[in-house]
Copies of this chain bind each other. A is one copy, B any other.
Amino acid sequence: MTTPPFRLLATDGEARAGTLRTPHGELPTPAFMPVATQGAVKAIDPSDLRAIGAHVVLANAYHLFLRPGADAVRRLGGLHAFMGWRGPVLTDSGGFQGFSLKHLRKITDDGIVFRSHVDGAIHHFTPETAVLCQQELGADMIMPLDVCAPAEAERGDVETAVERTARWAVRCREAHPDDGEQLLFGIVQGGLFEDLRRCSAEHLVALDFPGYAVGGLSVGESKREMYRTLSLTTPMLPPNKPRYLMGVGSPEDLVEGVARGIDMFDCVLPTRIARNGALLVSTGRANVYTARFRDLDGPVEDGCDCYTCVTFSAAYLHHLFKAKELLAYRLATLHNLRFVLRLMEDIRAAVEEKRFEAFRAEFLGRFVPPDERTRSEQKAKWEASRRRRG
């Protein structure tokens, strides 16, 4: 009998600190996974990732399948060699693109038919091909094909999503039994409905996956609804397996996710807002374009240990953004990712030292996220621009 890959080292309330063994090293949890959708974290390189304390990255199987192709990545030595990243990698399956690329896909009982946003070609994604694609890419952790319903979905649609996700999970598990190399996670769906979440979780737990993901959150619901659903869902999952909250990763959500028993997170938010000039600081988000930054001859945040803050003034960053210099995106990305990765280090230490609740209260007392109204307005604007881009 082999040692299970996940070890729980400490708990503090629902919060957990652990370690996940992968073929590319041990991953300390809770962990934030910077997103390398197309095999690169936008504007930074693998040596940067190591320098800022990243332990794992997430890549997207769907995007890599389209370009350069999973077989091409395999011929080039697999995803780790291709990206020049020697640590653990998790690949998402393409299930989320079935949600986010609504206008380019059709979901049937057998899988998802996509029209490629790269060249318009038609591709059939089935549970089996999604697994095969990820086997070719060679990530350490892989995800089954699932169906993610939007927050505003009717109960009937969420039921269908849960049923399909369940049937596809069985097919993925058959296509990928435990091999001691790639860990296939199960994905719990069920929207905001407690009974559907339970139904989904029970079905997946019976299939005995080495890890579980909570999907279908941060898809348009309020923060309160998300936190409530998360509080209901994590207790449905076995405590001795890692729990991954998909697509969530604003600082406040990382703290609140850990408080509800989550071990892994991924999100484009820290890197995407960085490129828009929004910098994470202990009090929330700072806009680099504001006049306050123009003459600020000190770092973006006092005491920050990132390369950007140690080397440059906030005024220089302001200048780079105004001048549209490529270096701006790099420096802001380094700062935001370091902020989030340092937060995970602090969270882990707090859990180990049984002072997580105090840490959480202190962090959330200072950190003011954009309010709900602003968020939903931004989301609506973003959706509109996405539709325009076709």
Contacts and interface: CB of A to CB of B under 8 A. Distances in A.
A8 interface: no
A323 B73 CA distance: 14
Q: How many copies does the complex hold?
A: 2
Contacts of A315: 68, 72, 76, 82
A40 B297 contact: no
B316 A39 contact: yes
Interface in A283-299: 294-295, 297
A327 B42 contact: yes
26 contacts: A38-B323, A39-B319, A40-B320, A40-B325, A42-B325, A42-B326, A43-B330, A45-B307, A45-B327, A45-B331, A46-B311, A47-B307, A67-B319, A68-B318, A72-B294, A72-B315, A75-B295, A75-B297, A76-B315, A76-B316, A82-B313, A82-B315, A82-B319, A84-B312, A84-B316, A330-B330
A67 B324 CA distance: 12
Contacts of A316: 39, 76, 82-84
Contact of A327 (B40, B76, B295, B322): B40
A25 interface: no
A77 interface: yes
Given A76-B313, A82-B316, A315-B72, A67 B323 contact: yes
- A interface residue count range (under 10 / 10 to 19 / 20 to 34 / 35 or more): 35 or more
Contacts of A75: 295, 297
Contact of A45 (B47, B297, B330): B330
A39 B41 CA distance: 25
A327 B76 CA distance: 19
Contacts of A322: 67-68
B72 A295 contact: yes
A10 interface: no
A338 to B, nearest CB: 14
A273 interface: no
A64 to B, nearest CB: 9
A333 to B, nearest CB: 9
A68 B293 CA distance: 12
Nearest to A313: B76
Nearest to A324: B38
A313 B323 CA distance: 32
